[in-house]
Structure 1
Amino acid sequence: MHTQTNNSSTKRSMIKSALLPLFLSFLVLCHGCVAYRHQQQQHQWQGQHQQQHRFRGQRECQLQDFSALEPSTRIESEGGVTEYWEENNQQLNCAGVAVIRHVIEPKGLLLPSYTNAPKLTYFVQGRGFTGVVFPGCPETYQSFQQSKGKGGSRRYEDFHQKIRNFHQGDVIAYPTGVAHWWYNDGDTPVVAVTVIDTSNNANQLDQNLRKFQLAGNQENQQENTSQQKSTNNIFSGFDTETLAEAFGVSTKTARKLQGHDDDRGEIVLVNDGLQVIRPPRSQEQREEEEEKQQQQSRDNGLEEAFCNMRLRENIEDPYRADVYSFKGGRLSRLNSQNLPILHHLQLSAEMGVLNKNSILTPHWNMNAHAVVYVTRGSARCQIVEENGRLVFDDELSEGQLLVVPQNFVVLTQAGNEGFRWISFKTSDNARRSSLSGRNSIMRAMPEEVLMNSYQMSREEARNLKYNQEQMEVFSSRSRSKRQSSS
């Protein structure tokens, strides 16, 4: 009897020992699920809070006239040109953004600066590299330089943060207040368009664009006026001797920091070329692919990935198109799903190509304003507001800008040379609702609803639902096929 009791106790102990690891694993799994769910809810709440804050701080969109916008200010520098769109324009005020276009000549260096709001830059043409300086992050790149002095050849070391290549079709995200610079190492000018989201909750100053130059100075010339405004770098306002002491340098060096005698502007030429250590483009592409795979397998917060976050994505490659029609064209979308930093910036982008006479489905942006910049060709664009009034009906051509407010319906048809554009949107996951084609709201409605809504026959309702089989980008059809019998 005593032996049986001991055996039973031993068995119970063995069962408990076997179940304990399983129980602990279950607790860890539950904890991980709860933590992940909490993190997802927190990210969702943060996104909603950021959008609510953005709209509360925004002026009302009291738009009377829509027009295709051209830059109003042109600033020439030694190594290129900077152009600004008028900040007080009603359309840009409605969207809460500012827009800049840079043209950087070969061997041109856009001097370091930072802005009071997050921004997205699209590189229309050219190639080069950029430095983005995150405070508190290590200098992971090391370079060497040879110099001949009195004692013979000497080698100097330079440590700096990561250098990123860019080329045509790239979009680069820049968080608020992060210093950065660009350099053109190609043979053709770099053309870059930047949208700054001044209504973003990360900007706690005002809705005016504030660009803080870390080097250089410039004279702002307003077109069609004689008004000039000097803009100096941030060091120019400090006392020279105090500035020298703060950096531990001579007053001569401090005066160079202040740049009072520097008349080259904000884009300067580097005659011998900019010598920095950076990886070959092929190696950088491999590293970015690895980063994408790692991001897909985990959900890093901004704090965890701050120093190594991915800032760049190319959206011009046809093989990454989200919507593709052989005859019609294609759409490529960039949002927080494929570039996670956009979740924190609350911005996204879309690149579109329409072939000759093709149509982009009539649609509205459900949760974002769209700032459309034409990169090539032309198109007829029509915009309708909530009461059915046509507020814009004109041609958009290369280099022009148009704002499409949230929920306004837009219809676009390419011209004879086709149409290419980049659209910057004020949400990290912008969504659109299409009126025609597959996955449209018309196709999703019952025939009887369409018949009674538009006083049409069942055959007409079916044609309305099913005649357009393409998705979002429609190839051109002859007018005779589109006409219906009277």
Structure 2
Amino acid sequence: MELNLAPQMPDQTVSEGEGGGYYTWSISAVPFLGQAKLAAGKLVLQPLGFALPHYADFKKIGFVLQGCCVVGVISPDSTTEKVVKVTKGDAIPVELGAVSWWYNDGDSDVVVVFLGETSDSNTAGPFNYYFLAGALGMLGGFSPDFLARGFGISVSESKTLFKTQNATVITKLKAKLNISDLVNNNPYRNEMVFNLKNALPSVNVKDGGSLVSATAENFPLLSRVNLSGNLVKLESGAMLTPGYTADSSYEIGYVASGSARIQIVGLNGQLALDDRVEAGHVFVLPKFFVGSLIADTEGIEFVSTVTSSEPKLLRLAGVESVWKALSPSVLQASLNLSTEDTDIFKDKIVETTAIIPPKKH
């Protein structure tokens, strides 16, 4: 079966209004998302924009690409609301079934991209949200007598309790929320948020770029969602060497800025994708396929989610290459090389890293 891995911009507007918008990638535009049970969404919150409390049938990582906002989360095994302020560079995991709300208390727009896995979703494709309030609120679907009984209120009260908020996904508040104590005096940030921009890179190459990874090892919350996150920056002309996930996990990425040429090779050594990715594109690396990028003139920065909290990512080039691990005689026989060419190849592997800077002219 031929796979369509072409990078895509969001093609569906779920909600758009004065408070902001929410946009997704449909499986009609990106069929492989449905096959791989992946999804992506983009939240834009204007000042005083408030994404109503909701839960979802998927797990995800939210990457803050612009601005800062306040997030409230109630995990499925807790009745405590944990409130944190997130800013550009932050990654915040959201567990399956967790209730969350998102609020822009600043003066400029906020952009958050969600990349996640939907194997537990009711339907394949985009994220499915279940709202606690608003025109799409779950409780608003119950009859007044059920609500009256459940909440200990009168039937007449129940008729208006869940009907006064007319917004669907996002609303613009008339005044700022009174949550300064929750934001400024809470102990939850280190537990809930990982800043990819300030973390120590696992790969950092002069004139080449850097790679920062958040896994269960350095961010324990990820073990609860069984996902991990990456931030990759490539300078002009730099290359991310060919690599693959060796643990049957998928990688879904979003380009925050810049552009690059991307190639993905699949079963039987067939080139599955040779294209360009640019700002706003989502792209997917299927499990066991090998992918690589070479940045264009302006370089590239992208975030990605891998569907494992402790992913096994192997490189086919660079100092961590499996070629380096092979004994010289096996390497020589595999590639049908002379002894001299085998030695040269082994030496060259040692000289390169996972990120290769551009050649100097």
Task: Find the counterpart in structure 2 of residue 108 from structure 1.
Answer: 49
Structure 1 position 353, deviation (Å): 0.5
Equivalent pairs, count: 356
Amino acid at match of 1:243: L
- 1:264 and 2:167 matched: yes
Residues 84 and 188, structure 2, Cα contact 8 Å, conserved in 1: no
- 1:474 and 2:347 matched: no
Q: How does 1:272-311 map to 2 (within 5 A)?
A: 272-278=175-181, 310-311=191-192
- 1:389 and 2:270 matched: yes
Q: 2:244 aligns with which of 353, 364, 371?
A: 364
- 1:165 and 2:81 matched: no
Structure 1 position 204, deviation (Å): 7.2
Q: Which has the larger radius of gyration?
A: 1
Counterpart Cα distance in 1 of 2:49 and 2:325: 53
Structure 1 position 84, deviation (Å): 1.2
Structure 2: gaps (5+ residues): none
- 1:189 and 2:92 matched: no
- 1:338 and 2:242 matched: no
Counterpart Cα distance in 2 of 1:174 and 1:415: 33
Residues 126 and 168, structure 1, Cα contact 8 Å, conserved in 2: yes
Counterpart Cα distance in 2 of 1:71 and 1:413: 23
Identity, in percent, stands at 28
1:303-337 CA distance string (max 9 Å, x none): xxxxxxx22211122x5211111211111111111
Alpha-carbon spacing, 1:478–1:256, altered in 2? closer, same or farther (3 Å): farther
Please report the RMSD computed on the Cα atoms of aligned residues, expressed in angstroms. Answer: 2.3
Amino acid at match of 1:265: T
- 1:442 and 2:323 matched: yes
Q: How does 1:210-221 map to 2 (within 5 A)?
A: 210-217=128-135
Counterpart Cα distance in 2 of 1:342 and 1:247: 35
The answer to which of 124-133 and 91-100 deviates more is: 91-100
Counterpart Cα distance in 2 of 1:233 and 1:403: 32
Counterpart Cα distance in 1 of 2:200 and 2:103: 27
Residues 79 and 268, structure 1, Cα contact 8 Å, conserved in 2: yes
The answer to which of 72-81 and 386-395 deviates more is: 72-81
Counterpart Cα distance in 2 of 1:382 and 1:190: 31
Q: How does 1:46-445 map to 2 (within 5 A)?
A: 62-74=1-13, 75-87=15-27, 89-134=30-75, 137=78, 161-199=81-119, 203=120, 205=122, 207=124, 209-217=127-135, 232-249=136-153, 254-259=158-163, 262-278=165-181, 310-317=191-198, 319-367=199-247, 368-445=249-326
Structure 1 position 394, deviation (Å): 0.7
Name the structure, 1 or 2, with higher relative contact order (CA <8 Å, separation 6+): 2
Question: Normalized per residue, which structure has more strand?
Answer: 2
Alpha-carbon spacing, 1:91–1:278, altered in 2? closer, same or farther (3 Å): farther
1:284-310 CA distance string (max 9 Å, x none): 5x8756xxxxxxxxxxxxxxxxxxxx2
Counterpart Cα distance in 2 of 1:449 and 1:176: 46
Alpha-carbon spacing, 1:336–1:63, altered in 2? closer, same or farther (3 Å): farther
Counterpart Cα distance in 1 of 2:348 and 2:241: 14
Residues 84 and 189, structure 2, Cα contact 8 Å, conserved in 1: no
1:436-466 CA distance string (max 9 Å, x none): 1112112222223232322323332223222
SS of equivalent residue, structure 2 residue 268 = coil
Structure 1: gaps (5+ residues): 1-61, 140-160, 218-231, 290-309, 480-486
Alpha-carbon spacing, 1:174–1:241, altered in 2? closer, same or farther (3 Å): same
Normalising by the residue count of structure 1, what TM-score does the alignment of the two structures yield?
Answer: 0.69
